[in-house]
């Protein structure tokens, strides 16, 4: 766990981690789109616990973020919605130490409020009269969708494939689609803007979320402190209340 005792007892002493390294300054966190709400909350909590720190976020599909990092985009921390994209950054030598799994997520169906098409199962999405949006296959939520399709033998005739799960949700909440496949956490965060339809086959595709400090970080001590914070008790509490499961 992190220790921020000095910031509370003696304002003139730098905040430090449990191993004695100073925590302060700005870090940039690349995080999967499905983490926007929880990480925004955790960033504010981290800044409050460690005065003098600033956490900036870039949220997008994990595959897009990994591609940006591999192309040289500067960042201090990467949190992916799957192990595949994290592994790609590890293989490129971009990760310092070992990634830590901190959460997991599964898919659910969302529809317009009231579920006007009466969708009750994953199989109902195979109906071409239902305008369904899904994630593109290179995105973690898209890979999970493909896994469920393979397990069920049902192919969704999607009207579009989006680059992030939040884009799928946006198509449904804006009325551009009748249904979409999103993570349970995104459905929960949307509240009354959607009707959620769980399906038992979602257990065929559980996405594990890893987080890691990047080897090119200009502020590695603070980056490591943030990754520990996310994987620690506060992070688990915030993520759990948002609907994320343990990894």
Domains plus CATH for the chain?
5-104+208-241 (3.40.190.10), 107-204 (3.40.190.10)
8 Å CB contact between 85 and 63: yes
8 Å CB contact between 40 and 57: yes
Which comes out higher in pLDDT, residue 5 or 99?
99
d(CA 188, CA 195): 10
d(CA 60, CA 235): 20
Q: Which residues pair with 103 in a beta bridge?
A: 209
d(CA 89, CA 65): 10
The torsion defined by the Cα of 21, 22, 24 and 26, in degrees rounded to 10, comes to: -40
The torsion defined by the Cα of 202, 143, 121 and 102, in degrees rounded to 10, comes to: 30
pLDDT of 236: 97
SS3 content of the chain, % helix, strand, coil (to 5): 40, 25, 35
Smallest CA-to-CA distance from 76 within 7, 24, 21 is with: 24
8 Å CB contact between 47 and 229: no
Cβ density class 180-198: b for 16+ within 10 Å, e for less: bbbbbbbbbbbeeebbbbe
DSSP one-letter code for 79: E
pLDDT of 1: 30
pTM: 0.88
CA distances, 68 to each of 59, 64, 113, 122, 153 (Å):
12, 6, 36, 33, 34
Tell me the average pLDDT across 68-80.
Answer: 98
pLDDT of 20: 56
pLDDT of 5: 34
pLDDT in tens, 152-194: 999 999 999 999 999 999 999 999 999 999 999 999 999 999 9
pLDDT of 44: 98
pLDDT in tens, 224-234: 999 999 999 99
């Amino acid at each position: 766990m992190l220790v921020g005792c000095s910031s509370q007892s003696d304002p003139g002493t730098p905040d430090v981690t449990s191993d004695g390294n100073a925590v302060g300054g700005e870090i940039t966190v690349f995080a999967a789109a499905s983490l926007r709400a929880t990480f925004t909350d955790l960033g504010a909590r981290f800044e409050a616990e460690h005065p003098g720190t600033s956490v900036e976020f870039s949220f997008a599909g994990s595959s897009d973020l990994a591609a940006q990092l591999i192309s040289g985009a500067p960042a201090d921390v990467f949190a992916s919605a799957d192990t595949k994209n994290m592994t790609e950054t590890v293989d490129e030598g971009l990760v310092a130490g070992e990634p830590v799994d901190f959460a997991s997520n599964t898919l659910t169906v969302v529809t317009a409020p009231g579920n006007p098409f009466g969708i009750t199962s994953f199989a109902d999405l195979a109906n071409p009269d239902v305008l369904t949006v899904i994630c593109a296959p290179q995105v973690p939520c898209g890979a999970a969708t493909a896994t469920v399709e393979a397990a069920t033998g049902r192919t969704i005739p999607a009207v579009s494939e989006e680059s992030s799960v939040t884009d799928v949700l946006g198509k449904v909440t804006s009325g551009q689609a009748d249904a979409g496949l999103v993570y349970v956490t995104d459905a929960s965060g949307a509240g009354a803007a959607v009707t959620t339809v769980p399906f038992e086959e979602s257990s065929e595709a559980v996405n594990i979320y890893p987080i890691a400090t990047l080897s090119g970080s200009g502020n590695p001590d603070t980056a490591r402190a943030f990754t520990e914070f996310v994987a620690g008790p506060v992070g688990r509490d915030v993520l759990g209340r948002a609907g994320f499961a343990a990894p």
